[in-house]
C-alpha cells in the first residue's frame, strides 16, 4: 500500500486521484499531523509518496512514476501521443503551477495592502494568459490529450480552484471550464476529495476533544 502525505486542496490531490484511478490502495497522512515532515521533504511541500523503501517527491515526477508502474490509459506508451502528453504535463506543472504559486508567495510576504493588490493583479494577468492558451487548445477536443483525459487535465483541475483564495479575477474560458467539470465529476475525484475532507474533519474534532480534556 502506498502512503501519501497530503494537504487538503493542494496539488497532492491530483496524486491521490491518480492512485485511485490506477486502482491502488493508499494511506492518507495529513502533513500538518506529522511533527517531522521536514525529514521526508526538507522543502516542506506535498505531495510526498512512500512506496516501500522509496520516498518520492515532486508532483510531475510522481505522476510519471505511477503511470510508468501501473497499466493505464492516461499516458500513451510511445510515439507522438506520449510526447504531447508529457509536454502538456510540463505545461501544467512547470508553467501554471508556478504562476499560481506567486499568488501564495505575494500574500505571505507583502504586508502593504496597495503593493499586495498590485502584485496579485500582475500575477493574475499571467495566469489568465496561460488559461487563454489552454482554452484555445481545448477548442477542438475535450481534453488536452484529445478524446481521452491526460495527467495534465487532472493537475489543471486541481490548480484551477486555487484562484478562489485571492481577490483577483481569473478567467478560465468556457472550454477549460467544460474540461474541469468533466474531471471533477470522475468518481475517483469525488472519492478523493471526500476522503481528504473526512480526515481533516476527524482530526479537527480530535484536536478539539484533546484541548477540552486538557482544560479539565
pLDDT tens across 47-98, in order? 999 999 999 999 999 999 999 999 999 988 889 989 999 999 999 999 999 9
| Residue 200, pLDDT score | 65
* Cβ neighbours around 48 below 10 Å, total: 24
Q: How far apart are CA 16 and CA 6, in angstroms?
A: 8
| Residue 76, pLDDT score | 87
Q: How far apart are CA 131 and CA 171, in angstroms?
A: 7
Q: Which comes out higher in pLDDT, residue 216 or 19? A: 19
The model's pTM is: 0.90
Query: Is 80 exceeded by the pLDDT of residue 214?
Result: no
Query: Is 50 exceeded by the pLDDT of residue 213?
Result: no
Q: Which CATH number fits domain 79-184: 3.40.190.10, 3.40.50.2020, 3.30.70.120, 1.20.1050.10?
A: 1.20.1050.10
Q: Which CATH number fits domain 2-72+188-215: 3.10.20.30, 2.40.10.10, 3.10.350.10, 3.40.30.10?
A: 3.40.30.10
| Residue 201, pLDDT score | 58
Confidence of residue 206 (pLDDT cuts 50, 70, 90): very low
Angle at 119 between CA 117 and CA 125, to 5 degrees: 100
Residue ranges of the chain assigned to CATH 3.40.30.10: 2-72+188-215
Q: Which comes out higher in pLDDT, residue 188 or 205? A: 188
Residue ranges of the chain assigned to CATH 1.20.1050.10: 79-184
Angle at 20 between CA 17 and CA 23, to 5 degrees: 155
Q: Is 211 exposed, middle or buried (0-12, 13-18, 19+ CB in 10 A)?
A: exposed
The partner residues of 143 in beta bridges, in order of sequence, read: 146
| Residue 216, pLDDT score | 40
| Residue 208, pLDDT score | 43
101-150 pLDDT per residue, tens:
999 999 999 999 999 999 999 999 999 999 999 999 999 999 998 998 99
Amino acid at each position: 500500500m502506498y502512503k501519501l502525505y497530503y494537504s487538503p486542496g493542494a496539488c497532492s490531490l491530483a496524486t491521490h486521484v491518480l492512485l485511485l484511478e490506477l486502482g491502488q490502495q493508499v494511506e492518507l497522512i495529513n502533513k500538518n499531523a506529522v511533527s517531522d515532515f521536514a525529514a521526508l521533504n526538507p522543502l516542506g511541500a506535498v505531495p510526498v509518496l512512500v512506496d516501500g523503501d522509496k520516498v518520492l517527491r515532486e508532483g510531475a515526477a510522481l505522476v510519471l512514476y505511477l503511470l510508468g508502474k501501473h497499466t493505464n490509459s492516461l499516458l500513451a506508451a510511445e510515439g507522438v501521443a506520449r510526447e504531447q502528453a508529457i509536454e502538456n504535463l510540463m505545461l501544467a506543472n512547470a508553467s501554471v503551477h508556478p504562476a499560481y504559486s506567486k499568488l501564495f508567495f505575494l500574500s505571505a510576504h507583502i504586508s502593504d495592502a496597495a503593493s499586495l493588490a498590485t502584485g496579485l493583479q500582475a500575477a493574475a494577468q499571467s495566469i489568465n494568459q496561460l488559461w487563454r492558451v489552454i482554452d484555445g487548445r481545448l477548442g477542438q477536443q475535450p481534453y488536452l490529450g484529445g478524446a481521452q483525459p491526460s495527467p495534465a487535465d487532472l493537475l489543471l483541475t486541481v490548480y484551477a480552484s486555487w484562484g478562489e483564495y485571492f481577490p483577483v479575477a481569473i478567467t478560465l474560458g468556457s472550454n477549460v471550464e467544460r474540461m474541469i467539470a468533466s474531471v471533477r465529476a470522475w468518481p475517483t475525484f469525488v472519492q478523493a476529495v471526500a476522503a481528504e475532507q473526512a480526515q481533516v474533519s476527524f482530526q479537527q474534532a480530535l484536536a478539539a476533544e484533546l484541548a477540552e480534556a486538557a482544560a479539565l
